[in-house]
Each structure stands twice: as structure tokens, then as C-alpha cells.
Structure 1
């Protein structure tokens, strides 16, 4: 079972997964796929001001746990990309 909620560097990261069918172009077969959507909320404002958060991140995969893993990984990368370091004067 994949973890779909976590606190990472003062942000709550939550992933929600749902089944999404996608048909291959030119084929009659429908392959089951899963869509994970992740949200990022700032839970700690003690280390600085509120930050602009990225929009909802979505990832498709062939298994629910794989979609969640991709979504949470991209959320952690987005958080790491935000400037959280403040120089002391």
C-alpha cells in the first residue's frame, strides 16, 4: 500500500488516485490506467511568509501505487524548487 499523505519541509502533500480509462489510438482495446492528483498545502509559516504553491500536479500510471509514487515525487521536487532559504543579516 502506498502512502498518499505526507508532511515534507513544512508542506502537507496529499495524493488522490482514481481510475481513468484510456484507449490507444487505432486500437479497440481499452487499457486501465490510474490518475493521481497531488495537492500541496503550506502548514508551517513560522520560517517565513506564505509561498506561492504550484498548481495541482497530475500523473498517469498503470497501477494506483505507481501513480501515487510519481505524483508525490513530483510534489517533493516542486517543494525543493521553491526558495525556502532566508539569509540572516
Structure 2
């Protein structure tokens, strides 16, 4: 079973997966396909962060756990890209 909820660097990352046959453009309409959608929300409103959160992140895959893994990985990459950490000289 895939983990579809996690806390990463102060953000809750949640994935929802659904069956979406033939949803991939140009894909085989008879091949099973799953769509995972990830939302990113701050864990605490008192964090003082004014960073803009990315829109919903979606990934297609042939299996539910693969779609979730891809979507969560993309969400972690998006959070890493929002980092405000500045390395000292």
C-alpha cells in the first residue's frame, strides 16, 4: 500500500488517486490508467511563511501506487523549489 499523506518541511502533502481509463492523451483507451492529484497545505498557519503554494499536481500511471509515488515526488520537488534558505558566504 502506498503512503498518500506525509509531512514534508512544514507542509502536509496529500495525494488522492482515482481510476481514469483512457485519460492520457494519445493513450490506449482500454489500458487501465490512474490519476493521482496532490495538494500541498501548510501544517501550521503560524509559520510566518508567505510562500505561494503550487497548484494541484497531477500524474498518470498504470498502477495506483505508481501514480501516487510520482505525484508525491513532484510535490516534494515543488516544496524544495520554494525554499527560502540562503547559504552563507
Specify the TM-score bucket, using the shorter chain as the normaliser: 0.7 to 0.9
Unaligned runs of 5+ in 2: none
Match of 2:70 in 1: 70
Asked whether the 8 Å contact 1:21–1:31 carries over to 2, the reply is: yes
- Give 3-state SS (helix, strand or coil) of 1:53's partner: coil
User: 2:22·2:28 contact (CA, 8 Å) conserved in 1?
Assistant: no
Q: Which has the higher strand share?
A: 1
- Provide the aligned C-alpha RMSD in A: 2.9
Please name the residue that 1:83 is paired with. Answer: 83
Distance 1:61 1:25, change over 3 A: closer
Aligned mates of 2:2, 2:80 — CA distance in 1: 21
Count residues with an aligned counterpart.
88
1:30 is paired with a residue whose SS is coil
Q: Distance in 2 between matches of 1:45 and 1:53?
A: 13
C-alpha spacing 1:28/1:78, structure 2 compared with 1 (3 Å): closer
Point out the structure with max Rg over C-alpha.
1
